A = this chain, B = another copy of it.
Amino acid sequence: MTKRNDNDRPVIGIDLGGTKILAAAVDAKGNILGRSKARSVPKGAKDPGPELVAERMAEAVRGAAEKAGLELSKFAAVGASAPGPVDIFTGRVMGAVNLPSWEKPYDLGPDLSEKLGLPVFVDNDVNLGTLGEAEMGAGKGVADLLGIFVGTGIGGGVVLNGKLRRGSRWSAGEIGHMMMSCEGRDADVEFFASRGAISRNMSEAVTRGESPIVKEILRKRGDDRITSGVIRKALKQGDPVTRRILHDAQNGLGLLIASVVNLLDPDMIILGGGLVESLGDSYIDPVRDIAYANFFLRHDREKIRIVRAALGDDAVVLGASVLARQMLAGQVPE
């Protein structure tokens, strides 16, 4: 009888978002054995904050184990994401601005580890989304790539020589906060090119009475928020205002891609996130054209592939499972 290697055993990956927690039990080959879902903070919670969120995460882990039909003790480790910078050696989350009462550092890794009786490893969510895509998704086998995730904001991750780059203050990959100047205003690319930016510009256009089409869509929905669904609908109805606003955002994203390619000359750019999932290739194609047109080195530009993410909503839980395996195997992060 041989002792089973830790790396043959399943692990659990957690994706902690602003509103929901996803957890998945993942076997050594990357198959998902069971999933569970929870709200990050229960509605009307009197005392939100990291302690309560950690409790919800632990519950999600137990739920995923149950769905996989395995006791918690059968798992080798847990990998978890957090929406903020993380010291991955200690599992300390420096802050998570989109969760209530979580401005200060919190030792999420140690807390979860005590609750679950398992080793727990934590990293930034977009880093883990990129790691998931790099190891098990669109970037499989690619040495140098960047993941860019476009949603309310723009997040990213950098993989060089097959390794996720963390940075000297654990804040590498803040690609949405690269700076641009548009119409005389200095701001980060997130301000010009995110779904949030598109929504803001569309809302303002509706307020100015410029887009009766969008106004009518919102009226029918009985909700003023401009979601990816609203953007898609407005495009389908041929709204010229939405088309122009989207084009400006695509232009910003294309220039951002050109910037990182001119700096790092990687093999691949992976585009994911809510807006990409919702609008698909018709959104990506013009972005790719704009990017290629702004590469400094023109030759072999198609060598740099600009592709859509492959794992959808599973990118972060799968990336978290990869993190857990890498840390168990003693692969020191950089």
A260 to B174, CA, bound (A): 9
A178's partner among B160, B165, B262, B266 (CB-CB below 8 A) is: B262
Number of A residues, CB within 8 Å of B = 51
A262's partner among B165, B175, B181, B266 (CB-CB below 8 A) is: B175
**Which of A160, A165, A182, A255 has the most chain B CB within a 10 Å cutoff?**
A182
A274 to B160, CA, bound (A): 31
A266 to B170, CA, bound (A): 10
Which residues 247-276 of A sit at the B interface, judged by CB distance below 8 A?
Answer: 248, 251-252, 255-256, 258-260, 262-267
Across the interface, which residues of B come within 8 angstroms of A258, CB to CB? 177, 179
Q: Taking the nearest CB of chain B, how far is it from the CB of A143, in angstroms? A: 8
A168's partner among B174, B175, B182, B303 (CB-CB below 8 A) is: B303
Across the interface, which residues of B come within 8 angstroms of A156, CB to CB? 263
A181 to B192, CA, bound (A): 11
Given contacts A181-B181, A188-B262, 14 further A-B contacts (CB under 8 A): A94-B299, A144-B167, A156-B263, A167-B265, A169-B304, A172-B263, A172-B265, A174-B265, A179-B255, A181-B252, A182-B182, A182-B252, A182-B255, A186-B255
Q: Which residues of A contact B (CB under 8 A)?
A: 85, 94, 144, 156, 158, 160-161, 165-175, 177-183, 186-188, 192, 248, 251-252, 255-256, 258-260, 262-267, 294, 296-297, 299-300, 303-304, 334
